[in-house]
Every structure is written in structure tokens, then in C-alpha cells.
A = this chain, B = another copy of it.
């Protein structure tokens, strides 16, 4: 997961498990596609396949929202779209600011997926005075000096941080002080925020590292299949599983 929450003791929000909440957007996306193809109903089996989960999980997830299906038939697509949208709070408009208009910030500003789901890019903010006034994705970039004014003037409660790592915490502090209570962080840093503020992080490098781990493991398995138990029995080959002796030793 390129993602994860920070802080906060995993409270069950309105009785809906966090894991379920994280899948609702997935179901919504699949349902929207069906809706566009004018499909009237889906079974849990079909929808689960489209969303990439198994059907038992999907039914359990939906059971937290209520009894929205019809036994022997399935789920009404339009109705489910509405219910999930409402549950996720997408029936209202969410003004969002993006701070840090580098490559990534510009990519985010141009990303179509925002607008389509109730999110509106209310402002782009950057610390570089040379950027000020320049339009990115049709929106003029504003200077960091006006951050508080922008947040308060637009009633923004969701902020996206796409600054370099060093700038992230100060920006975060200012966003929070100005009233932002949800932050999506793309900077490779741990942000500390007061209680009541949600932080979600996306870290590209972390995702790749997780893939590398599994990739390495695949390679190791192939090798192991060839050399098939030469010296050690597969089970219990000494404590700390060392490969080669490292150059550095512990104190």
C-alpha cells in the first residue's frame, strides 16, 4: 500500500471498519463504469470481480452500509452508486488546495480524477515567487505568503502537500493552523499533527521498495529450487537469518 494512516487509534467511524472505507472508492469506481454502460443490476460476484476483491468481502462490506441488495437478484447499480457516494461524502463539494507546484504538484493539478468526484482544486500554492501568477491547469499559482488567506477564504478543509521533504512540516503546520483537518502528503516525511487532523501519505519510493522485496524473494526462490537444500535443512538454520557477513558489525 502506498498508503497508510498516521496517528489516531483506528477508531471505527460510524461503525464502518477502516478497511471497508478504503474499499468503498474501489466499488464506486466499478459501479460508475457499469452505470455508464447502463447496466441496471450486478451480483456481488460480478461486482467483486470488477473491483478486484472476493465476493464474500464485498457483501460483508456492504452489510455495514445497510441492506441494499435484493436476494436472488443482486444490487441496483444506480442506487448503490448513490449510497456509497453519500457514505463517502461525495455528494458535497470539497475545495482542495495543492501546495508545492513542482512536477508532481502540476501533475496533480492536471489530474482529472479529482474534479469527477466532488473535489475541486480551489488553489495552487508555491513558495517560488517566479511561479506566482503563472497558470497551471488553468489555475493561477499563488504565493505561500497568502496561504492562510486562501484557506480561510475558500473554506478549505483538505490540503495536498507536494513540496520537497524539508518544507512539508512547516507547510503542514500552517495548513492546520488555518483550519485544514485532512492532509494528503506526498513528501517523504512523517508529519506530526494535532489530534483530530487526518493524514494520509503516498510515497512512491516506499512502494518500489516493497516491490523490490518481493522481487528479490522471487529470485531467491528460483535459486533455492536449483541448489535444493545443500547444507542447511529448510527449517531452523540458526537465529538471525544472515546472507553474507556484512561490512559493518554491531556495537
Q: Name A residues whose Cβ lies closer than 8 Å to a Cβ of B.
A: 1-7, 13-14, 21-22, 24-26, 28-30, 40-41, 50-52, 65-70, 73, 75-76, 78-79, 82-83, 86-90, 92, 94, 96, 102-104, 106-108, 110-111, 113-114, 116-119, 157-158, 181-184, 188, 190, 192, 196, 198, 200-218, 220, 239-243, 246-251
With beta carbons under 8 angstroms apart, the residue of B7, B52, B192, B249 that contacts A6 is: B52
Main secondary structure of the interface of A (DSSP, over half): mixed
Q: Given known contacts A78-B248, A87-B213, A90-B212, what 6 new A-B pairs fall within 8 Å (CB)?
A: A2-B201, A76-B251, A89-B212, A117-B208, A200-B207, A202-B204
Residue contact B66 to A114, C-beta cutoff 8 Å: no
Choose among B79, B205, B246 the residue that contacts A86 (Cβ–Cβ < 8 A): B246
Say whether B213 contacts A246, CB under 8 Å. no
Q: How many identical chains are in the complex?
A: 2
Contacts of A188 in B (CB 8 A): 29, 113
Contacts A190-B50, A205-B113; A240 near B65 (Cβ below 8 A): yes
| Residue of A14, A82, A88, A114 with most partner-chain B CB within 10 A | A88
| A200 and B205 in contact, given A158-B215, A215-B157 (Cβ under 8 angstroms) | no
A79 touches B119 (CB 8 A): no
Instruction: Enumerate chain B residues within 8 angstroms of A79, measured Cβ to Cβ.
Output: 246, 248-251
